[in-house]
Chain A
């Protein structure tokens, strides 16, 4: 009877309830996303990778700085990935839908669910974004610009380039059939800008 009362008394939704054997339930090892006292104990612990190291199989780090000069220099940065096959493009499309489409819209027209709440969303179908060099796009995705934040923590370098390839392939679809002349003038403009 006493056991019944004890067992039944902890039925409050604000409390996690009781368990049989706490030492088998709660981890003795440090868990992810939980605070730890290793630094306070003087134990050598690095929350970040060692500076200068690259994860196996990862792309080389992006070294341009987050300022207007870096943005200017980013014009010359080229996509290190080979062109994506259809499976890669599908994956890039999926990443775009998760991370970008909430603002830039599934059709790249800045009509995502957050349009009207976040200001100054780039309409990626506009000529200046169709012409935007891929390196500058990478710079913006890496560091953010105006109201856009940095996506470096959500997309790794390879994924960022994949998403940019996807955007460029979608932009090619809208600009190509209309006027091939405009696209031609765009490339000449880019090359002159690169010369500066």
Chain B
């Protein structure tokens, strides 16, 4: 009886303990969650309203927000400022001081309440920058080793061993023949053996012929050409990481024969504001590390821009980029016809340009390469929705043929894309 009573007591005690613990944990969780919600809120307001001009941890267009309240004249100053910028910019001494330093006036946010501003500033005070993207990982990857040289050497060694063994074999045979009294004619030395000589001539002829033809075919083709440019301009950083459209800088590709090289003012559209490179470390293919900020300084030298005074204070000069893709002068090529009319992606001919640190010629740019694409590419006719190109409306006959199931599609070749005079005239 007493044991039963005891166990009931113990159970009761445990139950109370568990319930109490759960309550504590719930309260603790609620507390943290509330804090978390609060921080999220601050970050959200920051991103929606402030992030274009402020950073939490460093000066940007405006001052850093972290511990702004400690720097300001009073702890309440920030709350008043955000709602009364237009008035305070002319009256408040601290505001005037900030204006002199940053040289731009903040937009007034009359709608932000004190709690909102407090949430943003609290969030900024507790902000820790995310860890820098792994720099150590980069550059450690070794290129896959080319084993063909090793295999070639091995083959050569084996061939020599085989030759020696053959020689030894024939000598042994000769010895045993002599012992048995069979007389054999004096052997011809291998360098006068006609079969060996013929074999050697054929091998030299084949190897020589192969390299001669390869070299002759390669004449005038510059595939893989990757010159050193006056500025280490990385297409990987611009078109890859920062997702700038190719046509932002090379807009001529849709309007004219040439995909123009952008003039320096196009660079300065962004680089008036972007003065330093803070992305992943950049290294050349040889493993030399590139200082992106120094490369931007080179751009300022060319453009005549002074980043401190924010004016063009010395004469600029054009950047002499080295031309990579060069079709022979007897070939006509028009970018707009391919980009605008044919609706080709730049990457079709220029390769994965958004992954190239230094640009190299991706395609062969040989006539066979051109013709092959013209045979395979399907023409995008104007469809009912107005997509495709109206230029081809003159090829009504093909529409009829497609409708009559004569073809399933029309390649560039069928509309005259392999006529000689299209490109050579």
Nearest chain B residue, comparing its CB with the CB of A19: B220
Q: Which residues of B contact A27 (CB under 8 A)?
A: 329
Question: Which A residues are in CB contact (< 8 Å) with B220?
Answer: 17-20, 25
* A interface bracket (residues with beta carbon within 8 Å of B): 35 or more
> Count of B residues near A, CB < 8 Å?
56
B216 x A154 contact (CB < 8 A):
no
Contacts of B320 in A (CB 8 A): 35
A24 to B260, CA, bound (A): 23
Q: Does A83 contact B (CB under 8 A)?
A: no
Contact of A154 among B221, B251, B318 (CB under 8 A): B251
In the complex, which of the residues A3, A111, A117, A120 contacts B212, with contact meaning CB atoms closer than 8 Å?
A3
Stretch at the interface among A37-45, A74-82, A142-150, A166-174: A142-150
A103 / chain B contacts, CB cutoff of 8 Å: 270
Cβ–Cβ contact A119 & B248, under 8 A: no
- A98 near B329 with CB under 8 A, answer no
Contact A7 B219 (CB under 8 A): yes
**Inside 8 A of B269's CB, which chain A residues have their CB?**
144, 148-151
Given contacts A7-B215, A98-B248, contact A149 B268 (CB under 8 A): yes
Interface string of A107-123 (1 = CB under 8 A from B): 00011011111111111
Contact A13 B360, CB 8 Å, known A8-B215, A120-B61, A153-B265: yes
A99 in the interface (beta carbon within 8 A): yes
Given known A-B contacts A27-B329, A98-B247, A146 and B52 have beta carbons under 8 A apart: no
Contact with B along A7-36 (1 / 0, CB 8 A): 110010111111110001111100011110
Beta-carbon contact of A147 and B260 below 8 Å:
no
Interface of chain B residues 205 through 221 with chain A (CB within 8 A): 208, 211-212, 214-216, 218-221
- CB of A4 within 8 A of CB of B53, answer no
**What is the CA–CA distance of A6 and B219 in the complex, to the nearest angstrom?**
11
Is B211 a contact partner of A7 (Cβ separation < 8 A)? yes
In residues 237-290 of chain B, which contact A (Cβ within 8 Å)?
242-245, 247-248, 251, 257-258, 260-261, 263, 265-266, 268-270, 272-274, 278
Residue of A11, A114, A154 with most partner-chain B CB within 10 A: A154
Known: A114-B270, A120-B52. A17 touches B218 (CB 8 A): yes
Give every chain B residue within 8 A of A87 (Cβ-Cβ): 386
Contact between A114 and B242, CB atoms less than 8 A apart: yes
Tell whether A97 is near chain B: CB-to-CB under 8 Å.
yes
* Contact residues of A between 117 and 138, Cβ < 8 Å to B: 117-123, 126, 128
Q: Is the CB of A146 within 8 A of B215?
A: no
Kindly report which residue of chain A lies nearest to residue B47, judged by CB atoms: A111
In the assembled complex, the Cα of A121 lies from the Cα of B386 at a distance in Å of: 34
Q: Does B230 contact A (CB under 8 A)?
A: no
Chain A residues, Cβ within 8 Å of B272: 147, 149
| Chain B contacts for A113, CB-based, 8 A | 242-244
Is B266's CB under 8 angstroms from A154's CB? yes
Q: Does B35 contact A (CB under 8 A)?
A: no
Can you name 10 extra interface pairs (CB under 8 A) apart from A102-B244, A119-B52? Answer: A14-B226, A27-B329, A87-B386, A102-B245, A117-B242, A119-B60, A126-B107, A149-B268, A150-B269, A153-B263
| Cβ contacts A to B, 20 pairs, < 8 Å | A1-B208, A4-B212, A16-B326, A17-B219, A17-B220, A18-B219, A24-B328, A25-B328, A27-B329, A33-B258, A33-B323, A99-B248, A102-B242, A102-B270, A113-B242, A114-B242, A115-B51, A117-B278, A128-B107, A153-B266
Residues of A within 8 A of B (CB): 1, 3-4, 6-8, 11, 13-20, 24-28, 32-35, 87, 97-99, 102-103, 110-111, 113-123, 126, 128, 144, 146-151, 153-154
User: Chain B: residues with CB nearer than 8 A to chain A?
Assistant: 47, 51-53, 55, 60-62, 104, 107, 208, 211-212, 214-216, 218-222, 224-228, 242-245, 247-248, 251, 257-258, 260-261, 263, 265-266, 268-270, 272-274, 278, 318, 320, 323, 326, 328-330, 360, 386
